[in-house]
Protein backbone atom coordinates (compact mmCIF):
# COMPACT_ATOMS: atom_id res chain seq x y z
CA UNK A 1 0.00 0.00 0.00
CA UNK A 2 2.83 2.40 0.86
CA UNK A 3 4.49 1.72 -2.49
CA UNK A 4 1.28 2.55 -4.34
CA UNK A 5 0.80 5.73 -2.32
CA UNK A 6 4.36 6.86 -2.98
CA UNK A 7 3.93 6.11 -6.68
CA UNK A 8 0.96 8.47 -6.99
CA UNK A 9 2.48 11.16 -4.79
CA UNK A 10 5.76 11.21 -6.69
CA UNK A 11 3.95 11.18 -10.03
CA UNK A 12 2.02 14.29 -9.01
CA UNK A 13 5.21 15.88 -7.78
CA UNK A 14 6.85 15.28 -11.15
CA UNK A 15 4.24 17.39 -12.94
CA UNK A 16 3.67 20.07 -10.30
CA UNK A 17 6.02 22.39 -8.39
CA UNK A 18 7.83 20.76 -5.49
CA UNK A 19 6.32 23.38 -3.16
CA UNK A 20 2.73 22.40 -4.06
CA UNK A 21 1.59 20.09 -1.26
CA UNK A 22 4.72 18.29 -0.15
CA UNK A 23 7.11 19.69 2.42
CA UNK A 24 10.53 20.32 0.89
CA UNK A 25 13.37 20.75 3.39
CA UNK A 26 16.40 22.50 1.94
CA UNK A 27 19.12 21.58 4.39
CA UNK A 28 21.41 24.55 3.68
CA UNK A 29 18.61 27.00 4.39
CA UNK A 30 17.48 25.05 7.45
CA UNK A 31 20.98 25.07 8.94
CA UNK A 32 21.23 28.80 8.28
CA UNK A 33 18.01 29.29 10.25
CA UNK A 34 19.07 26.93 13.07
CA UNK A 35 19.74 28.77 16.31
CA UNK A 36 20.37 25.71 18.50
CA UNK A 37 21.21 22.06 17.88
CA UNK A 38 21.43 19.71 20.86
CA UNK A 39 20.83 16.18 22.14
CA UNK A 40 18.04 16.05 24.71
CA UNK A 41 16.03 13.53 26.70
CA UNK A 42 12.24 13.91 26.43
CA UNK A 43 10.81 13.99 29.97
CA UNK A 44 7.10 14.41 29.27
CA UNK A 45 4.47 16.03 27.08
CA UNK A 46 1.45 18.18 27.85
CA UNK A 47 -1.25 17.43 25.32
CA UNK A 48 -4.53 19.01 24.40
CA UNK A 49 -7.32 17.96 22.07
CA UNK A 50 -7.72 19.47 18.65
CA UNK A 51 -9.57 18.55 15.47
CA UNK A 52 -8.30 18.45 11.93
CA UNK A 53 -9.38 21.20 9.58
CA UNK A 54 -12.69 20.83 7.79
CA UNK A 55 -11.34 19.18 4.63
CA UNK A 56 -10.16 16.14 6.59
CA UNK A 57 -12.29 13.38 8.18
CA UNK A 58 -13.62 14.46 11.56
CA UNK A 59 -11.54 12.91 14.30
CA UNK A 60 -9.85 14.05 17.47
CA UNK A 61 -6.08 14.33 17.67
CA UNK A 62 -3.90 15.15 20.64
CA UNK A 63 -2.05 18.34 19.83
CA UNK A 64 1.26 19.01 21.56
CA UNK A 65 0.98 21.91 23.96
CA UNK A 66 4.39 21.71 25.66
CA UNK A 67 7.42 19.44 26.09
CA UNK A 68 9.74 19.11 29.07
CA UNK A 69 13.27 18.00 28.28
CA UNK A 70 16.82 17.98 29.60
CA UNK A 71 20.14 18.43 27.81
CA UNK A 72 22.46 15.43 27.55
CA UNK A 73 25.45 17.70 28.21
CA UNK A 74 23.63 19.36 31.16
CA UNK A 75 21.68 16.55 32.86
CA UNK A 76 20.65 18.78 35.77
CA UNK A 77 18.82 21.15 33.46
CA UNK A 78 15.06 20.82 32.99
CA UNK A 79 13.58 23.02 30.30
CA UNK A 80 10.11 23.51 28.89
CA UNK A 81 9.26 24.04 25.23
CA UNK A 82 5.89 25.63 24.47
CA UNK A 83 4.68 24.52 21.08
CA UNK A 84 3.08 27.20 18.90
CA UNK A 85 -0.53 26.46 17.97
CA UNK A 86 0.45 26.66 14.30
CA UNK A 87 3.82 26.88 12.64
CA UNK A 88 5.32 26.83 9.15
CA UNK A 89 6.61 23.27 9.51
CA UNK A 90 3.26 21.48 9.63
CA UNK A 91 0.77 20.02 12.12
CA UNK A 92 2.11 19.00 15.55
CA UNK A 93 -0.36 16.28 16.46
CA UNK A 94 1.14 13.79 18.87
CA UNK A 95 1.97 10.32 17.66
CA UNK A 96 5.11 8.43 18.64
CA UNK A 97 7.23 5.59 17.36
CA UNK A 98 8.20 2.95 19.89
CA UNK A 99 11.98 3.22 20.21
CA UNK A 100 12.21 -0.46 21.16
CA UNK A 101 10.33 -1.63 18.06
CA UNK A 102 12.17 -2.77 14.94
CA UNK A 103 9.07 -2.20 12.84
CA UNK A 104 9.01 1.17 11.14
CA UNK A 105 5.44 2.21 11.91
CA UNK A 106 5.70 5.86 10.89
CA UNK A 107 7.78 7.62 8.25
CA UNK A 108 6.99 11.19 9.21
CA UNK A 109 4.88 13.22 11.58
CA UNK A 110 5.82 11.39 14.78
CA UNK A 111 7.35 12.62 18.03
CA UNK A 112 9.77 10.74 20.29
CA UNK A 113 8.52 8.62 23.18
CA UNK A 114 9.02 9.83 26.74
CA UNK A 115 12.58 9.02 27.93
CA UNK A 116 13.91 8.86 24.36
CA UNK A 117 17.21 10.61 23.62
CA UNK A 118 16.96 12.63 20.42
CA UNK A 119 18.64 15.38 18.50
CA UNK A 120 16.60 18.59 18.26
CA UNK A 121 16.94 21.51 15.84
CA UNK A 122 15.57 24.84 17.13
CA UNK A 123 15.16 27.67 14.62
CA UNK A 124 15.75 31.37 15.24
CA UNK A 125 12.24 31.74 16.66
CA UNK A 126 12.83 28.91 19.13
CA UNK A 127 10.56 26.50 17.24
CA UNK A 128 11.55 22.85 16.73
CA UNK A 129 12.19 22.26 13.02
CA UNK A 130 13.74 18.76 12.91
CA UNK A 131 14.59 15.81 15.14
CA UNK A 132 17.11 13.01 14.83
CA UNK A 133 17.95 9.62 16.34
CA UNK A 134 21.03 7.41 16.36
CA UNK A 135 21.06 4.34 14.14
CA UNK A 136 23.01 1.09 14.23
CA UNK A 137 25.05 2.37 11.27
CA UNK A 138 26.67 5.04 13.49
CA UNK A 139 24.56 7.73 11.86
CA UNK A 140 21.91 10.15 12.95
CA UNK A 141 18.65 9.79 11.04
CA UNK A 142 16.84 13.12 10.78
CA UNK A 143 13.09 13.48 10.28
CA UNK A 144 10.29 16.02 10.53
CA UNK A 145 8.04 15.43 13.55
CA UNK A 146 5.23 17.39 11.92
CA UNK A 147 2.36 15.76 10.08
CA UNK A 148 2.11 16.82 6.47
CA UNK A 149 -1.50 15.88 5.83
CA UNK A 150 -1.44 16.32 2.07
CA UNK A 151 1.99 15.06 1.05
CA UNK A 152 5.40 13.79 2.05
CA UNK A 153 8.63 15.23 3.42
CA UNK A 154 11.43 15.58 0.86
CA UNK A 155 14.94 16.52 1.97
CA UNK A 156 17.32 18.23 -0.44
CA UNK A 157 20.82 17.53 0.82
CA UNK A 158 24.53 18.09 0.37
CA UNK A 159 27.62 16.48 1.90
CA UNK A 160 28.29 15.62 4.69
CA UNK A 161 24.59 14.67 4.79
CA UNK A 162 23.63 11.38 3.17
CA UNK A 163 20.60 10.03 1.38
CA UNK A 164 18.40 7.65 3.36
CA UNK A 165 17.34 4.52 1.47
CA UNK A 166 14.79 3.10 3.89
CA UNK A 167 11.82 4.24 1.79
CA UNK A 168 11.10 1.88 -1.10
CA UNK A 169 10.81 4.17 -4.12
CA UNK A 170 10.78 3.30 -7.79
CA UNK A 171 14.12 4.15 -9.43
CA UNK A 172 12.40 6.21 -12.08
CA UNK A 173 10.81 8.54 -9.58
CA UNK A 174 13.94 8.67 -7.48
CA UNK A 175 15.66 10.02 -10.60
CA UNK A 176 12.94 12.65 -10.92
CA UNK A 177 13.73 13.75 -7.38
CA UNK A 178 17.44 13.74 -8.16
CA UNK A 179 16.89 15.97 -11.16
CA UNK A 180 14.86 18.36 -9.02
CA UNK A 181 17.60 18.41 -6.38
CA UNK A 182 20.23 19.37 -8.93
CA UNK A 183 17.94 22.05 -10.30
CA UNK A 184 17.66 23.49 -6.78
CA UNK A 185 21.46 23.47 -6.37
CA UNK A 186 21.68 20.36 -4.18
CA UNK A 187 23.48 17.05 -4.55
CA UNK A 188 20.61 14.67 -3.85
CA UNK A 189 17.04 14.24 -2.61
CA UNK A 190 15.93 11.95 0.21
CA UNK A 191 12.38 10.94 1.10
CA UNK A 192 11.16 10.98 4.74
CA UNK A 193 14.64 10.93 6.32
CA UNK A 194 18.13 12.42 5.96
CA UNK A 195 21.27 10.85 7.44
CA UNK A 196 24.54 12.23 8.74
CA UNK A 197 27.53 10.49 10.34
CA UNK A 198 27.81 11.04 14.10
CA UNK A 199 31.30 12.58 13.87
CA UNK A 200 30.09 15.09 11.26
CA UNK A 201 27.05 15.93 13.34
CA UNK A 202 29.18 16.58 16.40
CA UNK A 203 30.90 19.38 14.46
CA UNK A 204 27.53 20.98 13.73
CA UNK A 205 26.46 20.68 17.37
CA UNK A 206 29.56 22.59 18.50
CA UNK A 207 28.66 25.42 16.11
CA UNK A 208 24.99 25.60 17.15
CA UNK A 209 25.18 24.68 20.86
CA UNK A 210 24.13 27.37 23.30
CA UNK A 211 26.62 28.07 26.13
pLDDT at 12: 43
Number of folded domains in the chain?
1
Nearest Cα neighbor of 36 from 158, 131, 117 is: 131
Mean pLDDT of 52-64: 61
Number of H helices, E strands in the chain: 4, 11
Confidence class of residue 147 from pLDDT cuts 50, 70 and 90?
Answer: confident
Mean pLDDT of 78-94: 87
pLDDT tens per residue, range 114-132: 999 999 999 999 999 999 9
The per-residue pLDDT of the chain, averaged, comes to: 81
pLDDT at 51: 60
Contact 198, 138 (CB under 8 A): yes
Nearest Cα neighbor of 127 from 1, 33, 46, 194 is: 33
Domain residues for the domain of 91 are: 2-208
* C-alpha neighbours within 13 Å on the C-beta side of residue 115: 3
φ/ψ of 11, rounded to 5, equals -65, -45
Amino acid sequence: MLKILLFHILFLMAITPVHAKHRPIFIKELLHETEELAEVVILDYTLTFDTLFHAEPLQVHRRIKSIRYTYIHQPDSILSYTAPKTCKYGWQFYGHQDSTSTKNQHHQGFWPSVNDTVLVFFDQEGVISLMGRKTKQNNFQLWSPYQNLSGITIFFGIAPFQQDNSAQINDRFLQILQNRAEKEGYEFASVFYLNIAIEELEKLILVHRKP
